[in-house]
């Protein structure tokens, strides 16, 4: 996509300008999201037929990583919107699907995912809520534990067990407008990192028409696994590595500029500092290459794609922990006291490995796949 860099160049200065307030004040990055929309990036991966740019997984990784390097909160809002848009495009609802996708493509309709529930926690693919059928509609009663953009999204793509479900894999996805009667934000987000992304719990007690369902009855699990999981996992990995890249570059700049006056030398003259930076750079670069390779596999999937997706999210999330830890170690007191700018990506990077599917779950799934065992 030849103009992606131009689109990013138009939006990123605004994203950068709002990043500190998003973090310090837990402020939703409204201006940044609008800038992404103005640049056409809210419809980055949506088909051109609905007004999107028609970009693929490789471009997703590049764009989300670049946004994350400036503001992790904005990147997660962007990613959740794209993931919700892609699953909507894969199986549009019969009621208002075209209008919904057009709004998601131009950014006038902000989407997000409402999957995780108290009863199944980070196993987002296994809702415990169960829809009840009633005269051309369904009633959904659910406590969603983490919904990014909870107070700001226009629509939630919501998971629930199908009305006649007998197993956790028999689920449906529905479009639920945030302004629906029976939607309530059940708390305020005050997290360690990603403080501006409005990841609040949401309580649903809503009636939605059956025409708001994505795809066929009982297809929710397949949509989550075949559409949401690869797109979200790629994007989440890109967020982690964008944060790690930002922290490492700031640490390198600090090590080159900071002086040990009594020795008439720079911090980077210390072999231990150079070794820390070299190891972090190698770690980060290897996982950036892994992510690019996995994105290419998702673009042209084969029998190895699912395994690659699972391993890549876990690997990239864990690499971001190590690289940002090194950035803080290298910058020392200057980093800890927020003089260098490594503290925000350090904290933001700690979201990835606990974000469903967690690293621990993904390593287990990857091991199961390697050993020829069923994942579920």
At residue 243, the pLDDT reads: 98
Q: Give the single-character DSSP code of 224.
A: I
Task: Tell me the two tokens of residue 68.
Answer: 């994350």
Give the chain's mean pLDDT.
96
Neighbours of 108 (CB within 10 A): 11
pLDDT digits (tens, 9 = 90+) for 245-277: 999 999 999 999 988 888 888 899 999 999 999
Q: Worst-scoring range by mean pLDDT, 37-41, 118-122, 186-190?
A: 118-122
Q: Worst-scoring range by mean pLDDT, 42-56, 75-89, 113-127, 341-355?
A: 113-127
The distance in angstroms from the start CA to the end CA of the chain is: 37
Q: Based on C-alpha coordinates, what's the Rg of the chain?
A: 21
Closest among 159, 122, 167, 125 to 142, alpha carbons compared: 159
At residue 1, the pLDDT reads: 67
Q: Which CATH class is domain 4-106?
A: mainly alpha
The domain ranges of the chain are 4-106, 111-217, 221-370
The mean pLDDT of 279-295, rounded to a whole number, is 98
Angle in degrees, CA 85, 229, 113, rounded to 5: 45
221-370 placed in CATH 1.20.140.10: yes
Alpha-carbon distance of 173 to 216, in angstroms, equals 10
Prediction pTM value? 0.97
With contact defined as beta carbons under 8 Å apart, do 180 and 208 qualify?
Answer: yes
pLDDT at residue 100 tops 80: yes
Q: Which CATH class is domain 111-217?
A: mainly beta
Q: Percentage of the chain with pLDDT > 90?
A: 91
Closest among 154, 165, 54, 148 to 103, alpha carbons compared: 154
Angle in degrees, CA 357, 237, 153, rounded to 5: 75
Do 221-370 and 111-217 have the same topology in CATH?
A: no
The stretches of 45-147 forming alpha helices (DSSP H) are: 57-70, 72-90, 97-106
pLDDT at residue 122 tops 80: no
The mean pLDDT of 7-17, rounded to a whole number, is 98
With contact defined as beta carbons under 8 Å apart, do 174 and 158 qualify?
Answer: yes
């Amino acid at each position: 996509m030849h103009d992606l860099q131009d689109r990013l160049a138009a939006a990123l200065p605004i994203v950068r300008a709002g990043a500190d307030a998003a973090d310090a004040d837990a402020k939703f990055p409204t201006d940044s999201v609008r800038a992404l929309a103005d640049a056409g990036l809210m419809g980055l991966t949506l088909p051109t037929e609905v007004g999107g740019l028609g970009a693929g997984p490789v471009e997703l990784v590049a764009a989300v990583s670049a946004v994350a390097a400036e503001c992790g909160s904005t990147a997660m809002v962007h990613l959740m919107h794209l993931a919700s848009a892609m699953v909507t495009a894969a199986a549009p609802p019969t009621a208002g699907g075209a209008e919904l996708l057009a709004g998601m493509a131009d950014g006038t309709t902000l989407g997000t995912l409402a999957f995780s529930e108290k009863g199944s926690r980070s196993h987002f693919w296994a809702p415990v809520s169960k829809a009840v059928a009633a005269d051309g509609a369904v009633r959904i009663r659910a406590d969603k534990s983490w919904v990014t953009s909870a107070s700001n999204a226009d629509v939630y793509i919501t998971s629930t067990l199908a009305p006649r479900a007998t197993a956790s894999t028999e689920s449906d996805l529905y479009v639920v407008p945030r302004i629906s009667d029976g939607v309530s934000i059940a708390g305020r987000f005050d997290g360690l990192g990603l403080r501006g992304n409005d990841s609040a719990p949401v309580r649903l007690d809503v009636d939605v028409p059956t025409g708001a369902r994505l795809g066929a009855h009982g297809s929710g699990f397949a949509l989550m696994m075949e559409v949401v999981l690869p797109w979200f996992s790629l994007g989440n990995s890109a967020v982690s590595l964008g944060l790690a890249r930002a922290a490492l570059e700031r640490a390198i700049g600090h090590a080159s500029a900071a002086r040990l006056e009594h020795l008439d030398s720079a911090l980077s003259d210390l072999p231990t500092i150079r070794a820390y930076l070299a190891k972090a750079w190698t770690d980060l670069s290897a996982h950036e290459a892994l992510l690019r390779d996995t994105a290419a596999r998702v673009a042209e999937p084969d029998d190895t794609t699912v395994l690659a997706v699972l391993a890549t999210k876990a690997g990239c999330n864990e690499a971001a922990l190590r690289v940002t830890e090194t950035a803080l170690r290298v910058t020392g007191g200057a980093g800890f006291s927020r003089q260098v700018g490594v503290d925000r990506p350090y904290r933001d990077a700690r979201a990835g490995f606990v974000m469903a599917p967690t690293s621990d779950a993904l390593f287990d799934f990857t091991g199961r796949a390697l050993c020829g065992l069923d994942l579920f």
